[in-house]
């Protein structure tokens, strides 16, 4: 569907007949570790992560108050701000982060338990967690269905999982795609993040994956992403897209999707199980 040059290689956004978009050729684990190593996310240290506090409050507000307890795991926690806020909300919170430097900073700064490594490598007994969050993470995984099934396995019966990622088919994304097509400048499609995003979801393809992994929906919300815009001499091209990030509009057609899911109980299983 679309070509993107990155790190001296050509990558393509491809689409399956089922509608799922993905990066071709598929990045391997070594590629992903290279993408997110070194200084990646270093701008979040020493208070740089506080700009996400309002967004994290929105995530927590979607969790029913009577469910804000038990053990939680935030996958891809970066500095640890989100699990720190989950801890303040009532959870016994911990994190998982692939970048060792960022994980070490989070442990020292927030006093959290943050494990270093990928989710594929992470090990814990089945049913260990009451809540698992993967905010802007699932689209980066090698195998999202395998990741979702692992989340399901790690949750207690009836446990909650929260996911966020952009909608590649949202009006804002379609606008930037049009700019790229008309001008022949592929980099103008700023909402298409191949190869950093191995997968680009829509609401429909995401719900299909959640269902196949054994989840049932609890809550869904959309948000704008005003920080995602062109700057400098090309900034004027983003002016028509600003409307999609207005709170009232973003709540209806915003590019950001937030899913709160519950581990589905097997037939005949009760909450006491």
Per-residue tens of pLDDT for the chain, all 273 residues: 899 888 888 999 999 988 899 999 998 878 877 776 655 555 666 666 667 788 999 999 999 999 999 999 999 998 999 999 999 999 999 999 988 888 999 999 999 999 999 899 999 999 999 999 999 999 999 999 999 999 999 999 999 999 999 999 999 999 999 999 999 999 999 999 999 999 999 999 999 999 999 999 999 999 999 989 999 999 999 999 999 999 999 999 999 999 999 999 764 454 444
- Cβ pair 254, 245 in contact under 8 A: yes
Residue 42 has a pLDDT of 55
pLDDT digits (tens, 9 = 90+) for 81-111: 999 999 999 999 999 998 888 899 999 999 9
The pTM score is 0.90
The Cα–Cα gap between 82 and 85 comes to 5
Beta-carbon contacts of residue 126 (< 8 Å; ≥ 6 apart): 153, 154
Which single residue is written with the structure tokens 């992470």? 122
Residue 273 has a pLDDT of 44
Residue 30 has a pLDDT of 81
The Cα–Cα gap between 193 and 177 comes to 12
Q: What tokens appear for 72 in the block? A: 């939680």
pLDDT digits (tens, 9 = 90+) for 175-202: 999 999 999 999 999 999 999 999 999 9
The Cα–Cα gap between 239 and 66 comes to 42
**In 161-180, which positions are buried (b, 16+ CB within 10 angstroms) versus exposed (e)?**
bbbbbbbbbbebbebbbebb
The Cα–Cα gap between 75 and 140 comes to 12
- Cβ pair 133, 154 in contact under 8 A: no
The Cα–Cα gap between 60 and 125 comes to 25
Q: What tokens appear for 140 in the block? A: 């980066």
The Cα–Cα gap between 241 and 189 comes to 12
Domains with residue ranges and CATH for the chain: 30-190+205-263 (3.40.50.150)
Which residues, in sequence order, are bridge partners of residue 22?
Answer: 14, 199
The Cα–Cα gap between 188 and 2 comes to 12
Other beta carbons within 10 angstroms of residue 43's beta carbon come to: 10
The full DSSP string for 226-252 is TT-S--GGGGGGGGGGGGGGSHHHHHH
Residue 44 has a pLDDT of 62
The counts of H helices and E strands in the chain are 8, 11
- Cβ pair 164, 59 in contact under 8 A: yes
Which single residue is written with the structure tokens 């969790």? 63
| Half-sphere exposure in the Cβ direction for 14 (13 Å, CA) | 11
The Cα–Cα gap between 41 and 56 comes to 17
Residue 45 has a pLDDT of 62
Residue 32 has a pLDDT of 77
Containing H/E element for 14?
Answer: strand 9-15
């Amino acid at each position: 569907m679309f070509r993107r040059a990155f790190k001296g290689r050509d990558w393509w956004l491809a689409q399956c007949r089922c509608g799922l978009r993905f990066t071709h050729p598929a990045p391997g684990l070594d590629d992903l570790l290279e993408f997110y190593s070194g200084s990646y996310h270093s701008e979040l240290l020493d208070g740089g992560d506080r700009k996400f506090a309002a967004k994290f409050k929105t995530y927590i507000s979607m969790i029913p108050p009577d469910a804000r307890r038990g053990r939680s795991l935030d996958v891809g926690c970066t500095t640890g701000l989100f699990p720190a806020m989950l801890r303040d909300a009532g959870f016994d919170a911990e994190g998982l982060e692939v970048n060792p430097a960022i994980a070490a900073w989070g442990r020292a700064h927030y006093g959290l338990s943050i494990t270093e490594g990928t989710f594929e490598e992470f090990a814990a007994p089945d049913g260990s967690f009451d809540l698992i969050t993967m905010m802007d993470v699932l689209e980066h995984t090698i195998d999202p269905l395998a990741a979702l099934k692992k989340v399901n396995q790690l949750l207690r019966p009836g446990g909650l999982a929260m996911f966020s990622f952009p909608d590649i088919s949202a009006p804002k994304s379609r606008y930037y795609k049009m700019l790229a097509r008309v001008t022949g400048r592929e980099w103008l499609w700023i909402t298409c993040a191949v190869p950093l995003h191995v997968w680009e979801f829509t609401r429909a393809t995401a719900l299909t994956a959640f269902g196949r992994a054994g989840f049932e929906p609890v809550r869904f919300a959309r948000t704008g992403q005003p920080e995602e815009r062109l700057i400098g001499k090309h900034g004027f091209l983003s002016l028509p897209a600003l409307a999609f990030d207005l709170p009232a509009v973003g709540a209806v057609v915003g590019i950001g999707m937030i899913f709160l899911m519950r581990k589905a109980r097997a037939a005949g299983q009760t909450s006491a199980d």
